[in-house]
Each structure stands twice: as structure tokens, then as C-alpha cells.
Structure 1
Amino acid sequence: MPSYFQFLTLMAFYVFHKEDVDVAVIEVGLGGLYDCTNIVENPIVCGITHLGIDHVNVLGNSLESIAAHKAGIFKTGSIAVTAPQKEAAMKVLKQTATDKKCHLYLSPPFSSYEIVKENPAFYNKEPFEYENMALAIQLSRIWMDQNRGDTTCKVALEEFEDCKETIPVLDPVVEDVNKVIEALTSNQWLGRVQVVKRHNITYYLDGAHNEDSIKLCCEWFKKKSAEEIRFLSDNQKVVKILMFNITGARNSLALLDHLMECNFDLAVFTPNICYSEEVLCDQLKLAVTTQDANKVCQTNENFWRNLQCNRSSGDKDKFLNNNKYNEPNQQPNSGVLAESETHVFESIHDCIFWCSQGKDKALDKSLSIKSSMPPILEEADHVQILAKFAINPIKYLIQTQNTRIQHTMETLLYQHENTKLTASDEKSYDETIKTLNSLQNKKKIQTQATNKKDKLVFIRLCLENVGLTLKELDNLSVIHVAGTKGKGSTCFYTECILRNKGQKTGFFSSPHLIEVRERIRINGVPLSKGDFTKYFWICYNLLLKKNEQMPSYFQLLTVMAFYVFHKEAVSVAVIEVGLGGLYDCTNIVENPVVCGITHLGIDHVNVLGNTLESIAAHKAGIFKPGSIAVTVPQKEDAMKILKQTATNKNCSLYLSPPFSSYEIFKENPVFCNKEPLELENMTLAVQLSRIWMDRRKRDTTSEVALAESVDSEEAIPFLHPVVEDVDRVIEALTSNQWLGRVQIVKRHNITYYLDGAHTEESIMLCCEWFKKRSAEEIRSLSDNQKVVKILMFNITGARNSLDLLNHLKECNFDLAVFTPNICYSEEVITDQLKHAVTTQDANKVCQTNENFWRNLQCNKSCGDKDKFLNNNKYNEPNQQPNSDVLAESETHVFESIHDCIYWCSQSKDKALNKRLSIQPSMPSILEEADHVQILVTGSLYLVGGVLTIFRDSI
């Protein structure tokens, strides 16, 4: 039988063949010449990254020997590209390429790319990251050229080969600039120069394991840790901890010698074992015994203490020379041991549990043997930990820490939190959601909605009954945001910016897409199931005991959110209004630091009224005396109301500047691919976070200085387009995505375009986005590929679907499918249950929407569209349209979202493991399709259902 790595290599090639991938990117395991992956005879292009001394027992201890192994992947007639190397290595690469008649080129310096030279998104990268990015650009460009049979590439490359002894440098050319920049800035290779922030701990993760990479790691850590310290309050005590281990026959002494220059306060050592009492099969290493692993840690600890001691006595060089060739499991000279703080732990969990002072809730196992806590750690306000492991333990830290702060579904390596729940815990969470859902009483909600003013009094009473006083509520530092479209996105970006600046954030939003706990986040992470359950029952039981009447679903979640933010001692609470503003449950905040108003439009007319003035009055209800409010530009009718309300309440109102006015963003290609509404939300978020930071620092700058001068007292002044901490702001805006809004999810031969647009204005914007993005994708496909466009649609509430569908027809869909917001027809997802809507009513809405669509298609072709629209203008969603003439266009109504996408995917998607009980016939246009584009819109709950089904596989 093949070995572990040999088997995985065979399996990888088999999978790529069966999955019919367009390109297979293969990383060599070890060396190159004799590596298992070197069975490829005709690679399109080969790449050589930075070469250094490593794996000397296999590859040799000279750069020439190592370069010869690496160049073993060169093949006759192929192209190879290398990053700049030392002369000895370059000479071997050149000779091997010549011998094999392989065309060898140098990757250009990243600084030579004009398109990225002035781009702030790249300011925060490390030098070797630039080198890898430049090489990746060239490898992908050559592959694209070769794949489409472009002969100009080779000619352009060979123009530089004017000297046979010189390796020519490739042109710094970037095709599809926006897509390349998005790929380079929106994704991260986990475990390499990665920063993971908890409340009062920052983990600096890097899998460096040779002398060259450790030097780079040290420079990176010193720079990043110093930057963070500058952002902390002046009186905060910071402790630096080294967490270290090595694998293989490496000289840890040389590595530790470099790490000493970082001036750590403490050093801890642990084997690559996640838990001392639990085996994780994926990380099991049979070749290393626990005894040997612990011995390595003790050796490393002794090395470290000797280095510390000999550095202070001036004998460091002597000590290094005496121990130069020691194997990692050989004890160093221990004649003198320093009394510096070091500890050896049995597992990584124990190590970080101790470093976090036992306060991190992600670590649910206590230490069996507790080491005493040194005073320097007990008194620390903030801890910085450089975790220098092999790659596998780095992935463990990412599992337990970083998955709790990543948001973009398409870039996550691990989707779910790693909080370990017992069967009883899972049941408890499910029971919690069922109890919460029982508060979705339609009659109760309607009764409470008629007593709008009393509702806020009721919420305050509920807060008092759970033990949160008005004074404690006022002590929360709140950013309050209302609007028709974009308020969730604005809150999301605001929270990302402030979290990136080191603040502990709380974020309350609605609705949820997949699970209810998404609505309440700490540091950008939804509450764990355990924490959600705990806080829910605390609030629920207190209210059940003290209240005469229980709050509704949303009211209880609002009370719970404020309770959680108080208990978790967040620095800032970003609160998204639920509906309207004036009478919304969240409007119990009396002293918000700053309020935001996003784009206003017509929606929820049965509650807010059917005019822009009425809606603006509701939204402006969150303004408070003496506070600051910032709005995006609005239509004149709405702006007049906002201005009048601000004046009446003695609230300072400002306009958010256009995104194009920010000099620092203006030429940045990262933002070229964003939609106008996204940019509008981003600029509002930048201003809200800036004002909050200024007030947090008690900036004495007057508010007038914040704004540009205006010609009239009637005009609302624009705020200056100022960005502080540019790198952190750009990282926050470009590295995160608010799911379910202009989101693209790509499967093998299907692309889902997800947008929860549900008003006429937002549907119009959605259509423009879909037409643009789908056309871009089609251009990137092969010319002979047949593409089918499908609309997947549903609505909720008292909305006129006819108007929405009328705009959607302009996208020229080939098929349209309709489904209620139910994930599975035979399975109930508790988090997405809606008691207020019966299955019968939900199906009736779908049938109505199907008839509307078919009428629109028919009347569009016969010219009677306007007449049909006028006749049905005021139809309720559940009222049947005029059906005198029905088009025979391809439409289908399904019982569930799963059935819908199962049919659309031609039942080929492996993520859809439930077959349809009744499957409609497959139209020929879909059977013959090479690629399918599906726009999912009309309801955030519909979008959330799609994401729920795919969450384990995206």
C-alpha cells in the first residue's frame, strides 16, 4: 500500500479528474525531483518560490543541492517562473532549465506593477507576500494565455531573452485588474503572518520553521505588535508571550536565538497536541510518541532559558557554538539556568488557556494541573502571543479562534465555530429556539403594534426586570443606525472598522440568514450556541417571573442583546434598527454616541406610511438631543424631514461625503468592483466609526471643524472625507462581506447570485448588479458554452410582487422558479421557522408570483404590459392576477428551496443529498446547459435558506 502522503497525492489527482476541474494547482510536498507530485509530465507552467536551507536530511545542506531538487519539476518544452534567488541557487535553476529545454523566466518585482504601486490595500503586506503575489500573477497569466491558445504571450516573453546567460524578467502585466486585486486582497492563506484578535489577547500566527523564515517572522511580529500597542490606551499593560514548538530534525537553538530579539516577557512550550485528554484524528502523528514530543519541549525550554541567561552575562555566542549541532531531543548545557518565566504544557489548549488567564470562553476545558499565574500576566490588560508552530497546530488555533471572526463564506477554511457541544447542549439550544419561536404570536404582535408609544416603556420595563438599569444602559457606547436599504451593511462595516482598530464590539442586527444567534455578535462573531442558550434563559426566566406579559420575538432578542453587551463589557454596541426607528424596540437608547441614516425608500407602508416624508419621520426618530447624526444623501422630501427633526431635537446633522471624494480610495482598484450602494454604505460607516473614535478619545475638536463650510444655514454640511488608520480601514472594508447582499457563490457549473432585495428600488439595483456580473462571467467562459439564466424568487409581508417582477423581467431569464422560504419540505429548521405564515399561505404566494411572471412574459410579447400592470397595481400578494392569457414560458413552483436548487442544478450538486419525491420534467434548455446562473432575490429569508443548504460545502 502507498504511504500516507502518496495515497493523498493519488486521491487528489483522481478527484481532480472526476470533478473535471479546469486547472489543477499542485504544491510539491518535499523537494521536487523525487516528490510524489512529480508524476506530471506536461505541466503548463511551473513555479519556484524562495529557496532556503530546510529538510537537509533529505535535500542536502547546500543551496545548490536544494535548488537541484526543486528544479526537478521542470519539464521539456514547458515554462518555468522563479522568484529572485541567491546566485548559487539561480545558477543551478538556469542550468537545469537549459538541460531540460525548459523556458525559465524571472517573476518581476511587485513594485514594478504600476497598477498596484499606489494601492493602499497592499501597504500592510510583508515583502515575501509581495514576492509570492507577483509569482502567482505570472503563473495564472501564463496559464490563461496557454489555455486560450494565445501565441502572443510566448513572443512577448522571449523579447526579453537578449542575453543567453541572463534569466529574462517577465513583463509586470496584469489582466482583469479588478479581479486579480480582489483575489489578492480578499483572501488569506491561513496560518501565515496571520493576526487573530480576541477581547484582550492578540494571537500572531506564523508557521515559520527555518532560519530564514524565522527572521522574517520576527520582523513582522515586532512591527505588528508595536502598531497594536500604539492603538491601545496609554495606561494599558501589555505582556508579550512566545508559544513555540518544532518538528523534524531542525536546530531549534538557532531559531530561538532570533526569537530572543522580540523581547518576550514569557515563553511557553507545547507539543503539537490539541488536547491532553482527547485525540483529534486529523492531527494524529503516529511517528512521534508523546514522550518524545514532551522531551523536545523540555529541550526547547532549556535552550530558551540558557539563551536568556547567557545573553545577560555576555556568553551567548559561546553557548551557541557549544550547542550548534545539538539535535532537538538532546539536552543543552544546563550549567546555568535563567530564572525567567517559562512553562511546558501537555497540549496547545492548556497552553492558551493559561495564557488567556482562563477567561476565554472558547476554551471550555479547565487545566487538570494548573501552573501558577505570574504577576506580570495577572496584571496584564492585553496579551500578545506569537504562536510559532508547525502548520497543523496553527490550524488548530485558527479552528478555535479565527473561525469566530471570519465572515466571508467563500473564503473560510473552517465554517463553523469549534465550540464542542454535548448532545444535551444541542438539545438545549434547539429547545431554546423553539421557546423563542413560541413568541412569534401574530395576534400579540398586532396588539402591541397598535400601542407604539407604550412599547418603548414596555421594553424599558423588561430591561429593568432582567437587571439592567437605565444608568447601565446609558453607559453602553452606542452607534444607532436606521434606514430602508443598507442599514445592516453599514452597521457591519462600522463594526469591522472598529474591531480592526482594537475595540471590543457588540453588534445587533436583523433578520438572521441561517441561525438566530447571528443577530447578536461579540467581536464580529455570533454568540456560540452555549452562550446564546445561557443568556436566553437568564432573560426569559427573569421576564417570566416578573413580567405580566411576555415580550414578542424581536422584543426579547432586543432585550437580550443589550443584556449581553452589558455583561460582555463591549467597548461599542452597533445597533441596527429593526423597523422604522421612532417606535422601534431598539430606540430605548437615550444617549447614542452617533446615529446613522442609510438610503431611504418606500417599504413597510402598513407601519411607516406610504410617503417618503412619513418614512423619514420614523427613521429620524432615533435622533437624540445633543447627539450627532450622519445621513447619506437623500431625496429632497426626505432630507427636509431629517433636517427639521434634527433641529427640533437639537441634534447635529451632517451629510456623509461621496465615496469618490476620498483621495485615499479614489485610485484604489479594490473598490472599482463594488456597487454604488455598497460604496455609499462604506463611506457612512467610515464617518460613524471616525466620530465614535474621536468621541472615545474625547477629541476636543469642534463639530464645525468636522464639516465642510456651507453657504446656507438651511443646507446640511458634508463631513470631511477623512480616513484615520488607512490600512486598517481598507482591510476592514475589503476583507469582509455582509452575507446575502450582492453575494456571489460559485459551484462547479452553477453560479448563485444572492441578494435579499425586497423593495422596488433595491430590486432595480439588484437587476443592474446581476446583469453586469453575469455578463462578466459569461465573457470569462469558453465561447461555445451554453449559459442558462434562472430567476429564483419569493417575497414576504404585504409587498406588491408584481412591481418587483416587472423589473426582474428585464434580466431576460430563461426560466423562473418560485418557492416558499422553507429549506426542506420534510425537515423543519428551527432557526428559520415562521409561525405567523402557514404552509398553505406561503404556497399560495408562490403560485400568485408564478402567474404574475407568466402574465408579464406574455403581455411583454403582445404589448399589453402597461395595461396588465395598471389592472393589478394594488393586488395583495395572495390575490390571483388577471389570468385571461397565460404565457407558456418555463416556470415551476416547488415546495422547498432544496427542491428548487436540486432541480436547477440538474440533480448533479453533491451538496444536495435529498432527492425530490416528485421531480418536474427537465426542460431541454436546462439539460443542454454547460453553465447555469441563478439570481436568488425578493427575500433575505430565501437567500438565507440557500446559504443554509450550502453552508457545509461553500
Structure 2
Amino acid sequence: MGGSYEDAIALLDTRRRVRRPSGALAKDAARDAGLKPEFRVGGEALRGKPGIVGMSGWMEELGHSPADVAALNIIHVAGTKGKGSTCAYIEALLLAHGAATGWPRSVGMYTSPHLLVPQERVRISGTAIDERGFAKYFFEVWERLFDGDTATESQKGERPRYLQLCVLVALHAFIKEGVGAVVLETHHGGEYDATNFVEKPVVTVVTPLGRDHVKQLGPGMKDIAWHKAGILKSGAVAISSAQEEGLEEVLRARAEERGVFGGDVKVVTGTEEPGVQGVKPDVQMGNCAVAVVAVRAFLERMRGEVLSEESVRRGVEGFKWPGRFQVVERGGGRERWWCDGAHNEMSIGVAGRWFVDGLEEGDRARVLVFSQISDSRDTEAVFRCLAESLKGSGVQLVIFTTYDPDQTFSASMSLDQQVATTTLPSLDVYERVWKELHPNAEVRFELQLAEALNLAKRIGEPGAGVDVLVTGSLHLVAGTLWWLGEGVGGAR
């Protein structure tokens, strides 16, 4: 039967969870799902049914066996900071090696969240599948799981939710397209993540860990590390970025428990990998180094091949990851928009320093546009970290705004007509923190994102120009890039 792209997006949106469950997972439900409800992470019981529940069964309903999933040759990536960038570097390196040697001819990549439109989550050989392709694969999944004989009315309550459905559509597409390798990013966890039903990845990667999503994974860093290390699997190579003290021991314990290839986690402590030096900013150099090690291990395990320095160079050149350390110039360089979807304490300080280090001497105006609406992180601590990192930046104006976290962008949409669906959060706290650290800067509040961006733009008129840092949420950055006319293209 099928349907249009707009129909697919509308149906996908119906599977969003209105709110996170607050009740502890019932013991019988946990037992049926193969989970252990008596296990406590950070003293907390499991709440609601984790994303991993049901995934294997739904894949089999789609006609895909565990062997079909294993044949995708998966590199599974979890972490707190740099997950998406590391995935994009892995993708670029695999494509460069494939161009040089003939394998892999194509690479699938699933990432989350998307920046502008849901199909960005599903990339094939560096490009998001188009609207027609997304609709095709979406309806093949939807009609089998929701409209087919196996999905009776009584079962529909146990059908996939939004993120589960996104993963199912992506893996279904990769199998149908016959990709040679897949880069698979977790959502925000690991152990119970919807992606973690994958039984036999070739390589698993844990990027730097930080205090994020503490209500689901915390409260302690070791609790978070335990969850993220849940992707480690028997027989798979385990690779990790360097971690803060005490966390590598958690990863190593889980690696031993799972029986990873070689019996231990390979920790990438430096950026000495050939071809990595020169990648900017420095944090991306670290992500790139981890990706090089991961791809090298992957090729050795799969085919006994070596990743050449030339393929590393070409991979670095081919890297693309919009919304992270992205500078968009307008008006012949008069406007520079520094966009980074940093949203936790680890990442947002790096974003601030990246902005400061990139500024040039002169009379250009300097503006910060910030917003973060979240109940899963300490937004005051995040903003304080950003304000600290911007000391000495000369920011003259900070604009607090909002965004629609469920916005679906389309060609007919204008951000100027966007109606805010949320209220500006904790503005008194944000203003107090900013004035404490930047007493001479002006503070403004704009409910509509388009108005905030227009205000930032006007600051540079008719003077020497303006540098605007937009950060605090990926949703905020997405709206900004759309307003700037940056479409999907080959992006996320």
C-alpha cells in the first residue's frame, strides 16, 4: 500500500511517548522481557519498559533473523560526548577505504537524534536517504508491524515506540540495500537501549563519558559507565576513549564479564594515529583517533586488511557532521554563525572555547544565543560551564530563547511563523549566572527563535559584522540552521 513521506512522518510522530514512565517495571513484565528487576543501578529500579524490549521479535516479524543483523557487520557506538562525530569519522574512513580497495562498497549509518528531519538518522554512504526512500522503507515496516496479520488490535499497545521504530526502519533499509558495513549509534544509554538487541557486532566503541541523563542512567558516573558498557559483546573488539579516573575499571570489568575479543578494552589515550594531527578543534582530533583505531580493528577482523594513511587522509577530508562545530557565513562574511549542539557540561565548555579561539581581532559584535529545555540534566550547571568558558570573549549580548523539541522541518515551513510550544525555562537563574560572570553584557529574552536570530543579526548592522554563538540544544541549532537556509543535503 505505502504512502507519502508526509504520511510516514505523521505516523512516526504518533509513536512518540508523551512522558517518561515513573513507575517501577513490574517483575513479571521484566521477567517476560528477560530482564532482572531486582538489579539496581544507582539505587533505582528500572522504570517503564526499556527500549531493548521487543526489538528482536519485531525484527523477526519483518523477516530479518539474528544472522541477517550480524551480516550487516556492525560497529556499535555508545558514550556521552562525541558519539555522533566519532560515528561520522568511522563512516568517512570506511568509505575512503572502500573507494581505495572496493570494500565496503556502501556503508549504512544510524544516528540519533536527527538535526532537521527524521530521515537524517538513516545514512547510506554518507548521504541521508531521500524522502521517497524513507517513506518506502517506513511503510514496509509499518504495514508489517501495525497493519499486518501479526499486529492484532490487542497487540498494538506493544508495538514499537518512536525511537524503536526509527531503529527498525534503519536496519530494515540497510538489509534491503545490502550495505557492507553499518555504524550504529545508541540513543542515550547502552544496556537497555533499543539498538542493543544486536548480538554480534564486530567492534564496540565507548566515547568519553560524562554526567548526562542521570535520571535514566545515574546518579553516579560508575552507574553511567555500567550502562554505556552494556554494548560490549562476546567476541567483539572493545575500544574506548580515555575516561576519567575509575571509569575504565568499570568498562574493563564489563568487558571481562562479556568475554570481548582479546579479553580487554583497548583504550585510546592519545592522538598519535597517522593522519589525525591537524584535525580541529582538539576534541575532534580525539574523536577521529578513536575512529581510526576502531576502523583499523574492524578491517583486520573482517578481511585482514590495513587502513592506509592515504585512506585516513581522505576520510578526514570527507568527514561531515552538521550542527557540531559548524560555522555558517552570510553576507560575504559579515555574519558568522557558530553552531554547536552541545548540551552537557562536558561538551558546552568545549563549544565556548571553540568560539573564543576562533574569534578575530576587530570591532565585530559578539552575541550568544542559548536555550536548553530538559528534565534529564542540570541546566544551571550546563549554562554556568558555558558562561565560564566565554570569559574574555567580549560577548556583548546574550539572548535566551526557546524552540519546539518536536519540530519537523519541511520545505514549506517558515521558522518566522513558528509558534513556541514551550515557555522560557529558569530565566532568572540563567540571568543571575550570566550577570555574575559577565556583569557588563546585556541580557534579552525572545520567546520565538526567529525573533532571537533576527535580533542577533541586527546587532552587526551596519557595523563591522557579528559573530553569533548558538548552543545549548541540538533542537536550537537545528532551527537556526533551517533559518539560515541550510537544508538537509548530505547531512545527518
Same fold (TM over 0.5): yes
Contact 1:506 1:574 in 2 (8 A): yes
Distance 1:902 1:672, change over 3 A: same
- Counterpart for residue 813 of structure 1: 395
- Counterpart for residue 125 of structure 2: 523
Q: CA deviation at 1:656?
A: 4.3
Q: CA deviation at 1:695?
A: 1.5
Which amino acid in the other structure matches residue 577 of structure 1? T
- Counterpart for residue 655 of structure 1: 266
Contact 1:633 1:655 in 2 (8 A): no
- Counterpart for residue 56 of structure 2: 460
Which amino acid in the other structure matches residue 770 of structure 1? F
Q: CA deviation at 1:661?
A: 2.4
**1:544-623 alignment to 2 at 5 Å?**
544=146, 545=148, 546-547=150-151, 548=155, 549-623=158-232
* C-alpha distance after superposition, 1:398-422 (max 9, x if no partner): xxxxxxxxxxxxxxxxxxxxxxxxx
Q: Which ranges of structure 1 fall in alignment gaps of 5 or more residues?
A: 1-424, 700-722, 862-886, 907-924
- Counterpart for residue 297 of structure 2: 691
Distance 1:566 1:589 in 2: 14
- The one of 323, 348, 357 aligned to 1:740: 323
Distance 1:474 1:672 in 2: 35
Q: CA deviation at 1:567?
A: 0.9
Contact 1:659 1:665 in 2 (8 A): no
Distance 1:751 1:926, change over 3 A: closer
1:842 has 2:422 as partner: yes
Distance 1:531 1:697 in 2: 31
Q: CA deviation at 1:753?
A: 0.8
Distance 2:408 2:381 in 1: 31
1:893 has 2:478 as partner: no
Distance 1:792 1:505 in 2: 36
Contact 1:462 1:543 in 2 (8 A): yes
Distance 1:687 1:832 in 2: 43
- Counterpart for residue 391 of structure 1: none
TM-score between both structures, scaled by the size of structure 1:
0.44
**1:746-895 alignment to 2 at 5 Å?**
746-748=329-331, 749-774=334-359, 778-779=360-361, 783=362, 786-798=363-375, 799-810=377-388, 811=390, 812-822=394-404, 829=409, 842-845=422-425, 848-849=426-427, 851-860=428-437, 890-895=442-447
Distance 1:819 1:682 in 2: 33
Larger radius of gyration: 1
Distance 1:853 1:930, change over 3 A: farther
Distance 1:724 1:694 in 2: 9
Aligned partner of residue 694 in structure 1, secondary structure = helix
Which amino acid in the other structure matches residue 114 of structure 2? H
Q: CA deviation at 1:687?
A: 1.1
* C-alpha distance after superposition, 1:634-665 (max 9, x if no partner): 11221110011111111133334445423x43
**1:275-286 alignment to 2 at 5 Å?**
none
Aligned partner of residue 757 in structure 1, secondary structure = coil
- Counterpart for residue 472 of structure 2: 938
- The one of 416, 422, 439 aligned to 2:15: 439
Contact 2:323 2:339 in 1 (8 A): yes
Contact 1:510 1:519 in 2 (8 A): yes
Greater relative contact order: 1 or 2 (C-alpha under 8 angstroms, separation 6 or more)?
2
Distance 1:489 1:445, change over 3 A: farther
Aligned partner of residue 636 in structure 1, secondary structure = coil
Contact 2:404 2:422 in 1 (8 A): no
- Counterpart for residue 483 of structure 1: 79
Distance 1:830 1:752 in 2: 22
Distance 1:458 1:500, change over 3 A: same
Q: CA deviation at 1:830?
A: 6.1
- Counterpart for residue 726 of structure 1: 309
1:535 has 2:137 as partner: yes
**1:159-238 alignment to 2 at 5 Å?**
none
Count of residue correspondences: 440
Which amino acid in the other structure matches residue 500 of structure 1? A
Contact 1:822 1:896 in 2 (8 A): no
**1:107-146 alignment to 2 at 5 Å?**
none
Q: CA deviation at 1:532?
A: 0.2
Distance 1:673 1:488, change over 3 A: closer
Contact 2:403 2:420 in 1 (8 A): no
- Counterpart for residue 633 of structure 1: 242
- The one of 254, 258, 262 aligned to 1:645: 254
- Counterpart for residue 484 of structure 2: 950
Aligned partner of residue 200 in structure 2, secondary structure = coil
Aligned partner of residue 586 in structure 1, secondary structure = helix
Distance 1:823 1:760 in 2: 20
Contact 1:823 1:829 in 2 (8 A): no
Q: Percent identity?
A: 30
- The one of 658, 665, 680 aligned to 2:275: 665
Which amino acid in the other structure matches residue 809 of structure 1? A
Which amino acid in the other structure matches residue 450 of structure 1? R
Distance 1:941 1:552 in 2: 20
* C-alpha distance after superposition, 1:432-484 (max 9, x if no partner): 1111111113147667872446x424111111222212222222211001000
1:903 has 2:481 as partner: no
Aligned partner of residue 665 in structure 1, secondary structure = coil
Distance 2:402 2:412 in 1: 12
Distance 1:927 1:853, change over 3 A: farther
Q: RMSD over aligned Cα, in angstroms?
A: 2.8
Aligned partner of residue 892 in structure 1, secondary structure = strand
TM-score between both structures, scaled by the size of structure 2:
0.83
Q: CA deviation at 1:888?
A: 9.2
Q: CA deviation at 1:926?
A: 5.2
Contact 1:514 1:945 in 2 (8 A): yes
